[in-house]
Chains A and B, each alone.
With several copies, the nearest count.
Chain A
Amino acid sequence: MQLEVLIFGGAALAAKTDRVTVEVSGAPTVREVLAALHAQHPALKFALPPPETGRLAVNQAFAKGERLIVPGPLEQGGDEVALITLVGGG
């Protein structure tokens, strides 16, 4: 299945887009999605945390590790997933 991941800041600039797609199987965990990002989007490596300890935003709240993600469009109950790293407000 395909999972869309929103990206921002330096990651979005580097990828020249505001979202990337990763190929995942079933309902992956946060850890698995981070591992898939590492494998399938090496250009984002500088912005990717280690899968073991890193976090993603799932439905706009931070989540890590074994948290399951439901792929698919929001309208069909899918989760909104975003890579939030290297923030730099203030």
Chain B
Amino acid sequence: MNLPAGTQHAPRVLAAIVDGSLTREREAMSLSQHGWTPVRDTSGSAAPSTPGVVGAAIRFEGIVRRKELQTEPHEEGAKCEQDLLALEYQTYDPMAERGLMALSREVAERHGLIALSALHSRGRVHVGEVSFVLIVESAHRAEALAAMADFIDRLKQDVPIWKFPVWR
């Protein structure tokens, strides 16, 4: 594969399941537990990277909405009639974290990224709180955008995490 300049090395990848919502504090703690220090406070992302190599950094946050789309067939009756209090995320451990890690590695390599970190909540996350963070760093924007879309699509297929509504 013809990788962009600056990505000859294997991408740096981090993936973790974190209990509760992804506050800035829990995110920082999780990154540091895995030996990562943020490159810059803005993106709060990767392990030490050669300065000047990253040209695009994208941070995606999934946030719990008050009106959750009903996707589970058995909940048909409750369709969008009530407001959510929270989502309860159930993970099949340790397959969920391993799956998140495998997906992270795969997407980072396929798109020639410099770094990718993915954090997902387990347990209760209230409306307005963050349940998923994906940070991607690459030489140019095209691969960062493509990697992000690719990752999120695959996450919903291959990583054993389920969400349950907690009604108000």
A contact set with B: CB distance below 8 Å:
6, 8-10, 13-14, 46, 57, 60-62, 82, 84, 86-90
Distance of A8 Cα from B161 Cα, bound (Å): 9
B160 touches which of A13, A46, A87 (Cβ 8 Å): A87
Q: Which of B5-13, B31-39, B69-77, B105-113 contacts A (4 or more CB under 8 A)?
A: B69-77
Distance of A88 Cα from B158 Cα, bound (Å): 9
Distance of A86 Cα from B73 Cα, bound (Å): 10
Label chain A's interface by main secondary structure: mixed
Tally of A-B residue pairs with Cβ under 8 A? 72
* Contact residues in B for A89 (Cβ distance below 8 Å): 89, 96, 120, 132, 155-156, 159, 161-163
B contact set with A: CB distance below 8 Å:
62, 71-75, 89-90, 92, 94-96, 98, 120, 131-132, 141, 152, 155-164
Docked-complex contact A60 and B155, CB < 8 angstroms: no
Distance of A88 Cα from B132 Cα, bound (Å): 12
Could you give 27 example pairs across A and B, Cβ below 8 Å? Answer: A6-B92, A9-B72, A9-B90, A9-B162, A10-B72, A10-B74, A10-B75, A10-B162, A13-B72, A13-B75, A14-B74, A57-B95, A61-B95, A62-B158, A82-B92, A82-B160, A84-B95, A87-B157, A87-B158, A88-B156, A88-B162, A88-B163, A89-B89, A89-B162, A89-B163, A90-B152, A90-B161
B110 shortest CB reach to chain A, Å: 18
